[in-house]
Amino acid sequence: MIFLPYDLKENATSNVLRLSRWKILKKSLAANIVILVLLILLWVFYPISPTTFSQAISPLLTIDATIVMLILSALVLALLGINILYQYLYFKTYYYNLKSDVIVIRKGVFRPNEIAIPYNRIQDVYVDRDWFDLVFGLYDVHVSSTTVTSGLEAHIDGVANSNALKIKDRIMDNMKAVSPRVTENTTSL
């Protein structure tokens, strides 16, 4: 069983309006691309100049360069697996809840960060996507207040379009309930 740093059994919004599983692939893809490029460079460089490769690794090891290549390849593949596992755990421990007075967002596997933003402090709510999101059909819901932390941490990323709009609408409804000055003009995208 996977250890979760906090109880996800409570009636949280993240249990109803779930993150998309595509988020795991999106989050691991960037790091895995770098790792795979290194592996490809390793396999391309070795056949071109095995002598140079052997000289480069000779101070470290006195075994055959092919064995070293296999070991390095195994390490790279292990890094790929570890990265995917980490992103899966990140996905499983991602928590957000739209309570009646505050939004709570917790992210992180080993050292979770939590942010709580009262609705009366929220200045803007918007839905956007970067090019990775576009590829995987994901959206991010951003909540901004006057704090620097909200700009960095106060977003729910990796949800489907319908869930992103529902989350935004719930936040706007809670903002209206807390502060009657919130009008329909603030709900446009």
pLDDT attached to residue 23: 86
Report the side by side order of strands in the sheet with 102-107.
95-98, 102-107, 113-118
For residues 66 and 54, the answer to whether their CB atoms sit within 8 Å is no
For tokens 């803007």, what's the residue? 124
Question: How far, rounded to the nearest angstrom, does the alpha carbon of residue 161 sit from its chain's CA centroid?
Answer: 17
CATH topology of domain 95-177: PH-domain like (2.30.29)
pLDDT at 67 (0 to 100)? 75
pLDDT at 61 (0 to 100) = 54
Q: Which of 95, 111, 93, 103 is nearest to 168 (CA)?
A: 103
Query: What six digits make up the tokens of 83?
Result: 């990265």
Distance of CA 165 to the CA centre of its chain: 19
- At 35, list the tokens: 């790792």
Q: How far apart are the first and last CA of the chain?
A: 41
pLDDT average per 10 residues of sequence, the chain (189 residues): 46 80 83 80 71 63 67 84 90 90 89 88 91 91 80 83 94 87 52
DSSP summary character for residue 60: T
Listed by start position, the domains of the chain span 22-91, 95-177
